[in-house]
Amino acid sequence: MLITGGAGFIGVNAAHYFANKDWQVTVLDNLSRRGTEANLDWLRERTSIDFERVDVRDHRAVGDVIKKLKPHVVLHLAAQVAVTTSVLDPREDFEINALGTFNVLEAIRQFSPETFFIYASTNKVYGKMEDIGVIERNGRYEYRNLPTGVNERQLLDFHSPYGCSKGVADQYAIDYSRIYGLKTVTFRQSCIYGERQFGIEDQGWVAWFSIAAVLGKTITLYGDGKQIRDVLQVKDLVRAYEAAIGHRDTVSGQAFNIGGGPCNTMSLLELIAYLENELGQKLILRWSDWRPGDQPVFVCDLDKAERLLGWRPSVSVNQGVRALIQWVGQHRELFAWLN
Ligand SMILES: NC(=O)c1ccc[n+]([C@@H]2O[C@H](COP(=O)([O-])OP(=O)(O)OC[C@H]3O[C@@H](n4cnc5c(N)ncnc54)[C@H](O)[C@@H]3O)[C@@H](O)[C@H]2O)c1
């Protein structure tokens, strides 16, 4: 198995899981994200993964790796991951996310057409979903008429350069199955959180709030804090990847919404309250305007994933966030750069 972006948060958790299940795992990463070197050291201490320092924008280098390994599975996670960064530098965002994914798909088409390709897409491909009514109830937003959440038939509406570059890649992954018969699947992921996530203000809000809370840093709330997200613990996500591999012949060319679903939702204010309660202290808050593409609610419908993958989340939000706070508390040295 080849995991691009395998030294990142989701990547290192996936690599650890699959290596422990006796997969031969190769991690490909350019180590551009803060924390990736520590993640790679952690992984190397526990597993015997191989590592390729490659940038996905370099199509020759990507081609060489795929040609050499002819992997059974490519889990494609490498990406520029922040909406805010994509607004500041849309070209770099496009080159990493859209062209980088194209490079991986092309390498598979040319050198390893039997490979199963899993793409980590995002719920941002659905944009602001202004056609769906939202109401406020008990200090949190919710859909007026969608009790089970958003399903895969929701119109695509790429919003922000990040939404566009991820959306392009999402559609290429589906189309390479349709046109070239490659085995591909795209996971439109909601907020994923968990250990080894170096969340920052711009991306990875559950981890960032937890890190800032433990270290006594200021948390900026964009919008009114009542926005709702379904959140998924990374171990559950990795099990969903495993389920897709198990169903590779029946899910090819399909998109799945993968997140915590209606049973695992949280508003920003609810997370703040939970952290204050767990840590027994008041957090330092600042307020600012909504950010581009921010949805007041996103909750995905897990029906398709349950039916076709036999998968559903198993870690509750309280359990998952408690484990994350403990991990941050035990690894304060990893966040020394915040001081
Ligand atoms: N974490 C989430 O909540 C979430 C939600 C939806 C989708 N996703 C997607 O899941 C994937 C993994 O996200 P993550 O949270 O682990 O992020 P992450 O930033 O921790 O991991 C991304 C990895 O890609 C690497 N990378 C960046 N540019 C690269 C390049 N040009 N060449 C090679 N490697 C490069 C980084 O060094 C990093 O290790 C991304 O594609 C992201 O868009 C994440």
Name the β-bridge partners of 136. Answer: 141
Compute the distance between CA of residue 254 and CA of residue 182 in angstroms, rounded to an integer: 12
Instruction: Tell me how crowded residue 197 is: count the other CB atoms within 10 A of its CB.
Output: 26
165 CB less than 6 Å from ligand 1? Answer: no
Catalytic residue among 119, 143, 162, 176: 162
Number of Cβ within 10 Å of residue 168's Cβ equals 18
Q: What does DSSP say about strands 134-137 and 140-143: parallel, antiparallel, or unpaired?
A: antiparallel
Find the helix packing angle between 317-330 and 205-215, rounded to 10°. 50
pLDDT of residue 31: 98
Q: What is the pLDDT of residue 339?
A: 77
Give me the pLDDT at residue 295, please: 84
> What per-residue confidence (pLDDT) applies to 117?
98
Cα 274 to middle of ligand 1, angstroms:
27
Told to judge if 172 belongs to the known catalytic residues of this protein, a careful annotator would answer no
Give pLDDT, residue 203. 87
Contact call for residues 113 and 176 (beta carbons, < 8 A): no
Structure tokens at 304: 């398709």
Q: How many CB atoms lie within 10 A of CB 70?
A: 13
Nearest protein CA to atom 19 of ligand 1, as residue: 8
Could you tell me the residue ranges of all domains in the chain? 2-338
Per-residue confidence (pLDDT) for residue 338, from 0 to 100: 81
Tell me what pLDDT residue 14 has: 98
Q: Does domain 2-338 have CATH number 3.40.50.300?
A: no
Nearest atom (ligand 1) to Cα of 55: 32
Q: Is 3 helix (H, G, I), strand (E, B) or coil?
A: strand
Strands (E), the chain: 2-4, 26-29, 50-53, 73-76, 116-122, 134-137, 140-143, 183-189, 191-193, 218-222, 228-233, 254-258, 265-267, 284-288, 297-298
Q: For every one of its 339 residues, what pLDDT tens digit does the chain have, with 9 covering 90 and above?
A: 999 999 999 999 999 999 999 999 999 999 999 999 999 999 999 999 999 999 999 999 999 999 999 999 999 999 999 999 999 999 999 999 999 999 999 999 999 999 999 999 999 999 989 889 999 999 999 999 999 999 999 999 999 999 999 999 999 999 999 999 999 999 999 999 999 999 888 889 999 999 999 999 999 999 999 999 999 999 999 999 999 999 999 999 999 999 999 999 999 999 999 999 999 999 999 999 998 778 899 999 999 999 999 999 999 999 999 999 999 999 999 988 887
Indicate whether residue 79 lines ligand 1 (CB < 6 A). yes
